Each structure stands twice: as C-alpha cells, then as structure tokens.
Structure 1
Amino acid sequence: MDISIILLIIGLICVIASFFAGNPSKKYEEELEKVSISLHQETSGLKKRLKVVEEELMIGVQPTAIPIKSKNSTKPVHEIIVNQILSLHAQGYSIRDIAKRSSLSEAEVIAVLQSRGVSG
C-alpha cells in the first residue's frame, strides 16, 4: 500500500472518531455563556441603581435662587453665589472685595447678607 492511502485512511478514521467523541469545549462554552448572562444582568442592575441615585442627587441640587431687591430691579441670586458671599464675609473680606469676586454690586451683596441675617 502506498503511504498516502494509509494517511488518508487514518485521517478519515480520525474525522469519524471526532463525531463520536464528546466535545469538552461545549461545557466551557455553556459556562461562559452563563457567566456572560450573569454579568449582563448585574451590569443592568447597577445601571438602574446608578440612575436612581443620580435622580435623587438631582432632586437635592435644584437651583434655588434668592430674589435680591435693589433700587433698580429684583435679580435672583443663585444659592452657590450666596454661599460664596457668606464664606467670603466669614473670612473677613470687605463688601467691595466680595462684590468684585461674586460679580454683584455692593448693594446686592449687602442685600444677600441681610437676607441671611448677617450684618454687612
């Protein structure tokens, strides 16, 4: 017999045997699929929780404006600016310096301080 025929027969026997032999990678594929599904579910749950937390944080951060009455008009001042004015005043800055830093007039700074019960 020729060597090529022997190799061909051995190859066919191996191919036929591979159909009857168990596929060990199938078990790993199923396990990997389960892990993938579990990971997807956990990620989805975390996204939902994160969205709820973000919504809760956004509820507490709604911009609150304090209307400050000056001689010319009533201009709302954002709570962040109010906190900045109070902080600068507590640090000992003058009304003029606070007005420059907060982009408000001196009268508006005084009105903010008076609205919070701080004497300017």
Structure 2
Amino acid sequence: MSIPVIILLSAAILLFILSFFQKDRTSILEKELEDLTMSFHQETYQLRKRMGILEEELMGSSFSFAQDTDSPKTGVHEILKNQVISLFQQGLDLEQISRQSSLSLQEVKEVLSEIRKP
C-alpha cells in the first residue's frame, strides 16, 4: 500500500514542478486583449478626430451646399432669406442688410423682390 502512495506522491511532485515550466495561457490572452483594446481606442480617437475635421469643413461650406439646393433665382439659403426679411422689417437700409447677411446688394434686392411678388 505504501508503494502506490509513494508513486502518486512522486507523480504529484513531478507535475507540480512541470507546471512552473508551462506557459501561462491566460497572461498571453490578457496581453492580446490589452493590445486589441489599445488599437481599438487609437482607431476610435483617429476617427473622432477625422469626424471633427469633416464637421468643420461641412460647417464652413454649408452655405455653398444650401445655395445649390435652393431656388434657382437667388441661390440664397432660406435662413439667410429670413434674416434679410427680418432686417428689412427692422428698418435697416439695403447696404446694412448686405453687410450683416454677407450677401451682395443684388442678392438682397432679389430676396426682397421675391417676398413682394406673392
């Protein structure tokens, strides 16, 4: 009975010693997950940065997009038309309206003539 106990005890000690030489799979997986997380955060940061640049470019050129889609006569965005009408109703002259709305004098006249037609 003592021989099987000695064999089992020696096998246990041998396996215990071998366990120190085995690669730790969890640490490898943790390292891979950490690398993946870092690359994900870097890509997310770069995408947000690019989105911010695109938003700035779109905000800067939003009036040119609006001019393409509005009425063919004036090509002035509806918000600018409302601003011109509001300034005119406040009693400003055409040159002041032109400066404040960043439209040419001709465009201001066209917007005001459109509201008088109907």
- Compute the TM-score of the two structures, normalised by the length of structure 2: 0.45
- Compute the TM-score of the two structures, normalised by the length of structure 1: 0.45
